[in-house]
Amino acid sequence: MLGSTVKTIGGIESAFYWGDKWNCQVVQFYLTLSRKWEVDEISKEKVKIFKDAWKGSKVKEIVAHIPYLVNLVSENKDTREKSLKRMLLEIERAKILGVRYLVLHPGSTGNQNKSKAIKVLRDSFKKIKPSGVEILIETMAGQGSSLGSSFEEIKEILLALNNDKVFGVCFDSAHVFESGYDIRGEGYEKTFREFKKFIPLKKIKAFHLNDSKTNFKSKRDRHEHIGKGQIGLDFFGKILNDERFKNIPKILETPEIVEEGENNLRILRNLIK
């Protein structure tokens, strides 16, 4: 299942315009304005417009990205409280719209140690009590004090959250590479073997397919167009033809998505055997 991040300027229903234009089976977008803490209400009419547009579209699955503002493990109490409130709202909105997957960056710990931050995350979700959606913890590049930049840490997060029905993993190719797993060449199988040591492969519910502008182990999160970065086409060919992941949403998140998204999708499709 292949698709792309899409821009939804003018309304979230425009996701389906881009999805159909680019022949996507899956699209990813923000349910709310991603750079603002304030969120507008959604009217029944708008929900209907969205659902009608989805019905009339070939898009099968939607993955919503939680805005980067949200940091449930922030050291700042105000940010933590706002993040909790927003997470609740995003889950509610997803349910109203019929969106199944929500991708979440597990957060930046600041000066706290990671196990303390994981406890804070666990306590947040105890308050949120998520249900009816699947929240996918994204693998991170290891920039700054971000949580989730190793498979072991993702495992610890999943263990702490302790709800197999709700929590899964979103595997981002650029982040995994930047954090220090060489997914190129023979590293492809090695990386998934390493993943399996900590987490069953079936916990991967979505892939972000991005090449990396920065070097292997750079710990710097910079996405690049497919085939133009440090990862190269070989990895993307392998993942797109891997039977184990055939039905898992694979989503492009490359730069200049409006201008270059379709071209990147074309490059990916050409790799499918």
In the complex, the residues that contact Zn ion under the rule CB under 5 A are 172, 208, 253
CB nearer to Zn ion: give 32 or 53.
32
Q: Whole-number minimum distance, CB 138 to Zn ion, in Å? A: 6
Rounded Cα–Cα distance for residues 2 and 248 (Å): 8
Q: Whole-number minimum distance, CB 20 to Zn ion, in Å? A: 23
CB nearer to Zn ion: give 134 or 172.
172
CA angle 209, 52, 264 (to 5 degrees): 20
Q: Whole-number minimum distance, CB 177 to Zn ion, in Å? A: 12
- Taken as a whole, the chain contains a residue count of 273
Rounded Cα–Cα distance for residues 8 and 11 (Å): 6
CB nearer to Zn ion: give 172 or 178.
172
Rounded Cα–Cα distance for residues 251 and 132 (Å): 22
CB nearer to Zn ion: give 13 or 253.
253
Rounded Cα–Cα distance for residues 24 and 20 (Å): 6
Cβ pair 26, 60 in contact under 8 A: yes
CB nearer to Zn ion: give 130 or 148.
148
Q: Whole-number minimum distance, CB 222 to Zn ion, in Å? A: 12
Could you identify the residue written with the tokens 């498979």? Answer: 151
CB nearer to Zn ion: give 61 or 172.
172
Q: Whole-number minimum distance, CB 232 to Zn ion, in Å? A: 18
Measured at CB, which residue is nearest to Zn ion? 208
Measured torsion, CA atoms of residues 142, 105, 205, 257, in degrees rounded to the nearest 10: -90
**Which token pair is 127?**
């308050």
Q: Whole-number minimum distance, CB 54 to Zn ion, in Å? A: 23
- Alpha helices (H) in 3-76, listed in sequence order: 14-21, 44-55
